[in-house]
Amino acid sequence: MPPRSTLARAATFASAAIVLSTLGASSPAVGLEPEARPTPTCDPAAPDASARTMAGRPRGLDHETLTASDVRRIEEGFDRALERRGSRADRLPSAIRVPVRVNVVDGNRYRGPSKAQINGQLRTLNRGFSGRQSDESEPTNVSFFLKSFNRVKNQRWLTAGLNGKGRPDADSKEMRSRLRRGGPAALNMYFTKIGDGLLGYSSFPWTAAGNLSQDGITIHSESLKGGSFDGYNRGDTAVHEVGHWLGLYHTFQDGCSPDNDYVDDTPAEQDPAFGCPVGADTCRAREGDDPIHNFMDYSYDTCMYMFTALQSARMDEAWQAYRAP
């Protein structure tokens, strides 16, 4: 079996699309209608990153902390999973249609997003993954459609979050166990007012088989377009978290190490970017400025607008290894 990096660089995918069994022929992905592509900018009017709103951790602590040894074990398992599922380049998907099961959590005095707002969030998600946020972005093979919409009132679940190790707390575990639907290919999204000022958190695809009840992503409702989080209210938190759900690490994973995020075309980055620090270079011994415009960094929504070709290839491989029906 060729190494995954070879497969990714080849970028030659089959013409046969993976279409989920739950998808009918008349179920288009939300938000793929023609739309003008805005010029990406770093919004000078956005608040100073040094302010560090949302309890000082914008877009932070969104999954379990992973050490370099953790990641090496994950990558070894990734290789084995691909070998079992068939990892030849001509078997990788050319189209991945993801059914999205949305759960909106209301509280005693808080009502979460409407179905219309959720459809708007899915449009943002589809624009991000189709490469239509920027000419610099690589189109991916992934699109999303709304499979189900559920609204529930539960004050404890409204502020469910993570513990100090980046693992779901008891309320989060209960919420997901009660509400989650579908198999590994179904993206379950929970829209809440996450406690501790967090924007969102996600599971990874390699944890789905052993812990399916906890698979999915939780998004702070105020990160949707027009929400109250200045700098982080254009819907890109969901794009970032779905990137994790499809197998991407942060661009700053393992810092300036040779493997860092296991994607060769994202420049190495020692620390996450806050705001939009154009020209930052935290790994001067490595080629390229920090990838502050990448969806897998921590930049403002106005600053992050792209995936790379090899990030797209890695998501295809992770789908094949862990989520494909």
Which residues carry out catalysis?
241
Reduce the DSSP state of residue 161 to 3 states and report it. Answer: coil
Q: In 3D, which of 271, 265, 291, 264 has the Cα closest to residue 279?
A: 291
Query: Hey, CA dihedral for 121, 127, 133, 136, is it positive or negative?
Result: positive
Does residue 97 contact residue 145 with C-beta atoms inside 8 Å? yes
Residue 317 to residue 308: CA distance in whole angstroms: 14
Q: Dihedral, CA atoms, 238, 240, 243, 248, nearest 10 degrees?
A: -160
Crossing angle, helix 68-85 and helix 309-318, to 10 degrees?
Answer: 60
Kindly state the tokens that stand for 84.
Answer: 């079992």
> What burial letters (b/e) apply to 33-44, b meaning 16+ CB within 10 Å?
eeeeeeebebee
Ranges of beta strands (E only) in the chain are 96-106, 142-153, 187-192, 200-202, 217-220
Query: Hey, CA dihedral for 140, 7, 206, 261, is it positive or negative?
Result: negative
Query: Hey, CA dihedral for 229, 231, 232, 233, is it positive or negative?
Result: positive
The answer for residues whose C-beta is within 8 angstroms of residue 305's C-beta and 6 or more apart is 40, 128, 133, 134, 136, 137, 236, 293, 295
